[in-house]
């Protein structure tokens, strides 16, 4: 890649692709054996693994210890059965939506794995999402963050910005996704739909001529005219129309953000109060973002983050 930008590249474990990529590679796929081999051989380049196969075939935990792992588990039973195979840290689990979502979240969190709802937030009703947010905010025994709520709350408390496009890894200047032939997409969904920016062998500057890139640029440029409600939205600084672009609506996101905003105000006020008396309860210590590989570029251990 010759445009001077440093990107995280998501690639299947194919030698002809990994060989030509700079460090900063996320391996993805369902073939545990192929991923294990690639992790052993290209360990210096790999920063993460998105594992999409059955957990019984996940690469050995000791190989995954040094990278961020994202799981796409089928359900609770699969997680419980294979828990002993998983690394003990830096694991995030995408939770499928459905009626059992809340129970799944509680179970995943109790296994000390970080549940993540960002990808399917708008498939969940606002009521269902708020149940999870309130559990995250008020369940004192919770030992791990629930994402994306923890990253959002952390930034709100610290009055720092957070870019939803970046959190979702949807920005071709920073994240790209390859298929086995070297075609480049903006996301796994785009790869599946064969919506390509170009190929990894082309100059990234040429990707800007692709229909996908032009669609994205057009959406962003025309947002004030096509979605004026976004500019008036109190959460524009954070979302910048991402949910409209990806899902067409944002009822759940706005409900979640409002709940987290209120919580951040309460936390802020309590911190001020306790700062006056010189002692801050541990529960009010909300540190900078926890979300590994996105909001947490230093790859700090997500389990070490206070909730």
**Residue 118 makes contact with ligand SF4 by CB under 6 A:** no
49 to 17, 32, 90, 146, 263: CA distances (angstroms): 15, 10, 11, 19, 33
Pick the closer one to ligand SF4 by CB: 51 or 149.
Answer: 149
Tell the smallest beta-carbon distance from residue 99 to ligand SF4 (Å): 25
Question: Per CB under 6 A, does 254 bind ligand SF4?
Answer: yes
Residue 117 as a binder of ligand SF4 (CB under 6 A): the answer is: no
Nearer to ligand SF4, 91 or 216 (CB): 216
Nearer to ligand SF4 by Cβ, of 82 and 254: the residue is: 254
Is 219 among the residues that bind ligand SF4 (CB under 6 A)?
A: no
What is the dihedral angle through the alpha carbons of 124, 125, 126, 131, rounded to the nearest 10 degrees?
Answer: -80
Q: What is the rounded CA–CA span in Å between residue 19 and residue 45?
A: 10
Q: How far is CA 275 from CA 58, 137, 154, 177, 261, in A?
A: 46, 21, 18, 46, 21
Among the listed residues 73, 230, 267, 295, the single contact to ligand SF4 using CB under 6 A: 230
- Range in contact with ligand SF4 (rule: CB under 6 A) among 48-56, 166-174, 228-236, 270-278: 228-236
Answer yes or no whether residue 229 interacts with ligand SF4 by CB under 6 A. Answer: yes
Q: Which residue, 29 or 241, is less far from ligand SF4 as judged by CB?
A: 241
Name the residue among 36, 64, 110, 69 with its Cα closest to residue 293: 69
List of long-range contacts for 39-48, beta carbons under 8 Å, 24+ apart: 39/63, 39/64, 39/67, 41/15, 42/18, 45/18, 45/21, 47/8, 47/23, 47/293, 47/299, 48/8, 48/292, 48/293
Q: In DSSP terms, which residues pair with 177 in a beta bridge?
A: 10, 185
* Separation CA 227–CA 242 (nearest Å): 11
DSSP H helices in 139-210: 149-157, 164-167, 188-192, 204-207
How far apart are CB 129 and ligand SF4 at their closest, in Å? 13
Q: Which is nearer to ligand SF4, 232 or 277 (CB)?
A: 232
Distance of CA 275 to the CA centre of its chain: 33
Provide, rounded to whole angstroms, the least separation between the CB of residue 147 and ligand SF4. Answer: 18
Task: Give the nearer residue to ligand SF4 in terms of CB position, either 227 or 303.
Answer: 227
# of chain residues touching ligand SF4 (CB under 6 A): 12
- The minimum distance between CB 122 and ligand SF4, in angstroms, equals 10
Q: If binding is defined by CB under 6 A, does position 74 make contact with ligand SF4?
A: no
User: Which bin fits 90, alpha (ψ -120 to 50), beta or left (φ > 0)?
Assistant: left
Pick the binder of ligand SF4 from 153, 168, 212, 233 (CB under 6 A): 233
CB of 265 to ligand SF4, least distance (A): 19
Under rule CB under 6 A, which residues in 234-253 are in contact with ligand SF4?
A: 235-236, 239, 241, 243-244, 250, 253
Instruction: Kindly state the smallest distance separating residue 242's Cβ from ligand SF4, in Å.
Output: 6
Is 70 near ligand SF4 (CB under 6 A)?
A: no
Q: Judging by beta carbons within 10 Å of its beta carbon (0-12, 13-18, 19+), is residue 278 exposed, middle or buried? A: exposed
Contacting range for ligand SF4; rule: CB under 6 A; set: 8-16, 122-130, 231-239, 278-286: 231-239
Binding site for ligand SF4 (CB under 6 A): 229-230, 233, 235-236, 239, 241, 243-244, 250, 253-254
């Amino acid at each position: 890649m010759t445009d001077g930008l440093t990107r995280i590249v998501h690639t299947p474990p194919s030698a002809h692709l990994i060989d030509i990529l700079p460090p900063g590679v996320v391996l993805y796929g369902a073939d545990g054996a192929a991923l294990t081999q690639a992790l052993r051989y290209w360990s210096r380049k790999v920063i993460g693994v998105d594992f999409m196969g059955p957990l019984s075939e996940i690469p050995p935990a000791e190989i995954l210890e040094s990278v961020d792992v994202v799981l796409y588990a089928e359900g609770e039973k699969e997680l419980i059965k294979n828990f002993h195979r998983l690394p003990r840290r830096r694991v995030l689990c995408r939770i499928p939506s459905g009626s059992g979502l809340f129970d799944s979240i509680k179970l995943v969190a109790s296994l000390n794995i970080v549940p993540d709802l960002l990808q399917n937030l708008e498939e969940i009703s606002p009521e269902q999402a708020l149940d999870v947010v309130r559990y995250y905010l008020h369940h004192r025994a919770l030992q791990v963050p629930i994402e994306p709520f923890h990253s959002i709350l952390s930034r709100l408390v610290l009055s720092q910005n957070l870019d939803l496009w970046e959190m979702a890894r949807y920005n071709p200047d920073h994240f790209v996704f390859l298929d086995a032939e070297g075609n480049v997409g903006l996301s796994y969904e785009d790869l599946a739909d064969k919506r390509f920016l170009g190929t990894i062998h082309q100059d990234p500057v040429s990707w800007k001529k692709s229909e996908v890139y032009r669609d994205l640029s057009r959406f962003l440029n025309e947002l004030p005219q096509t979605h004026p409600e976004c500019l008036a939205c109190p959460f524009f600084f954070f979302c910048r129309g991402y949910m409209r672009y990806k899902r067409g609506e944002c009822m759940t996101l706005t409900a979640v953000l409002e709940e987290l905003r209120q919580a951040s105000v309460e936390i802020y006020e309590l911190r001020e109060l306790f700062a006056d008396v010189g002692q801050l309860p541990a529960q009010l210590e909300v540190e900078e973002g926890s979300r590994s590989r996105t909001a947490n570029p230093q790859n700090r251990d997500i389990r070490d983050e206070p909730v």
